Structures are given as C-alpha cells and as structure tokens.
C-alpha cells in the first residue's frame, strides 16, 4: 500500500522540498497551498515528471472546512492519509513595542491556529502507523530581537506537538516537530542584506545557512524510518544551539 502525505505550505520553501523528498521516498503527496496556484501546480508537475504521484489542494490552514476538504481529497484520490507535514507559516517581524496587533493576529491565525487545525484533522483522520511533523523554529531558543510574535507562535507549536504525541497513545502514530535554524527560503531571506545573512551563516559551527533540502531530509526521516522518535523537537540548525 502506498503511503500518502499531506504537506501544507507545499508550494514553496521547506514545504516544497519536503513534498519533493517524500514523493521521491515513494509516497503519494497532496500539496496544500494558500494562494500560489502557479507554484503549487509546478511542484505537482515536477513530482510527476520524476515518476511520483501528487495533486494540489487550495486551503487556508486556519479554515477547518477547507482543510478538512483537503484531507478528504487525499483520501478520495489516494485512499487515505499516513503522513502530515505542517510547514505553512508566515514570519512578519517587529519588536514587541512596535508590532501591529492586526499583523500579530494574522501571524497567530496561520502559525498557531493553523497548526492546531491541521493537527486536529490529522488526529481524526490519520491511519494507524502514521506520522505528524510540525514545523517550529530554532528562534524559540535563539530569542532574536524582533522575532517575539513569531517565536511565541512557534513555542505554541512545540507545546501542542508534545501534547498530541501523548493523546495519540495506542495508534502507533508519531508526532514530532522540526525546528529549522536560518534556512535559505524566500520567507527567511526577505528583507535581509548580505551582511546579515553572512553573520547568521557564521553562527553555526558548519558555517553556512541551511537549505530546504537539509530540513526535508529530517522530515523524511521522521515520516518514514524513525518509528522510535516520538514527542520530540528536532533542532535542525547546523549546531547553533
């Protein structure tokens, strides 16, 4: 039986790399995207061109109706859902003093409520023996200025992940979070000059910025062979912390 993965935020960045890697691992993939249909369709075509199976589904992760429909589409098309990778997220920056609260609410809707909605659907619909992988961030531990709202949302993701792992006792479903460090995605690179990126690259003992493929490798491990890793946060950041 082919395993089936849903990847939110799968049209770009870490989500895109994760979708491509899981497809290469032999899974059928449903790429959930918020608005960039062009990139989502391109990701599907590239997976198919490489011999994999993929479809795209548009859904706001914070909308339980739309997200539930994406899970139903996965079941109708491929027979069920075994793996969920929740990589949808936004990262507006600002100090606590200056952060616009409308921006804060939007961030929390996508990162916190969105992760909860995805986790809820996964808890209800995943086949036994599956895996849930949420995306946190190493900034939870690094505590960079201007990342207060983002770190707050991702701290909640980590707490939810560990609780859900315990709630799914008896179903052989693993629940883990991956917390990337600085990674070369549009989300991370936007608004940063070369000097800032170089400084961040030097923080890791490996002296480089991570790639989406670096994170996808960890996701692949947690989605497949890592059956004895459960209720953990894996900080994939080259050794910054």
Whether 38 is in a domain gets the answer yes
Residue 198 lies in a domain: yes
Confirm whether 150 is a catalytic residue.
yes
Looking at the domain assignment, is residue 205 inside a domain? yes
Q: Is 232 left (phi over 0), alpha (psi -120 to 50) or beta?
A: beta
Q: Tokens standing for 175?
A: 């629940």
pLDDT digits (tens, 9 = 90+) for 136-159: 999 999 888 999 999 999 999 999
pLDDT, one tens digit per residue, over 189-233 is 777 778 878 887 788 898 888 899 999 999 999 999 899 999 999
Residue 67 counted as domain residue: yes
Tell me how crowded residue 101 is: count the other CB atoms within 10 A of its CB. Answer: 8
Instruction: Kindly report the length of the chain.
Output: 241
- How would you write the pLDDT of the chain (241 residues) with one tens digit per residue? 899 999 999 999 999 999 999 999 999 999 999 988 999 999 999 999 999 999 999 999 999 999 999 999 999 999 999 999 999 999 999 999 999 999 999 999 999 999 999 999 999 999 999 999 999 999 999 888 999 999 999 999 999 999 999 999 999 999 999 999 888 877 677 777 788 788 877 888 988 888 999 999 999 999 998 999 999 999 999 998 6
Cα torsion 85, 91, 97, 100 to 10°: value is -100
Cα–Cα dist 146/95, whole Å: 4
Residue 241 domain-assigned? no
* Structural domain contains residue 94: yes
**Domain annotation covers residue 160:** yes
pTM (2 d.p.):
0.94
- DSSP at 127: P
The range of the structural domain enclosing residue 212 comes to: 4-236
Longest CA–CA span in the chain (Å) reads 53
The answer to whether the beta carbons of residues 72 and 121 sit under 8 Å apart is no
For residue 158, being part of any structural domain is answered with yes
Among 33, 78, 150, 188, the active-site one is: 150
* CATH number of the CATH domain containing 137: 3.40.50.720
Q: Domain count for the chain, please give it.
A: 1
């Amino acid at each position: 039986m082919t395993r089936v993965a849903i990847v939110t935020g799968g049209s770009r960045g870490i989500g895109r790399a994760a979708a491509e890697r899981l497809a290469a691992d032999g899974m059928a993939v449903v790429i959930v995207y918020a608005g960039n249909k062009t990139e989502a369709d391109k990701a599907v075509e590239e997976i198919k061109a490489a011999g994999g199976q993929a479809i795209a589904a548009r859904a706001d992760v914070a909308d339980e109706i739309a997200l539930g429909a994406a899970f139903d589409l996965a079941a109708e098309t491929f027979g069920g859902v075994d793996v969920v990778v929740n990589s949808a997220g936004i990262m507006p920056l600002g100090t606590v003093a200056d952060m616009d609260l409308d921006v804060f609410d939007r961030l929390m809707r996508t990162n916190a409520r969105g992760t909860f909605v995805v986790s809820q659907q996964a808890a209800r619909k995943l086949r036994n023996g599956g895996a849930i992988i949420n995306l946190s961030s190493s900034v939870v531990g690094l505590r960079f200025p201007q990342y207060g709202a983002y770190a707050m949302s991702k701290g909640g993701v980590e707490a939810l992940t560990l609780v859900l792992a315990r709630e799914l006792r008896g179903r052989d479903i693993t629940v883990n979070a991956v917390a990337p460090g600085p990674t070369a995605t549009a989300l991370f690179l936007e608004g940063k000059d070369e000097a800032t990126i170089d400084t961040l690259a030097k923080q890791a003992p490996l002296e480089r910025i991570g790639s989406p493929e670096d994170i996808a490798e960890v996701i692949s491990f947690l989605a497949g062979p890592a059956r004895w890793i459960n209720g953990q946060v894996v900080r994939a950041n080259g050794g910054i912390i």
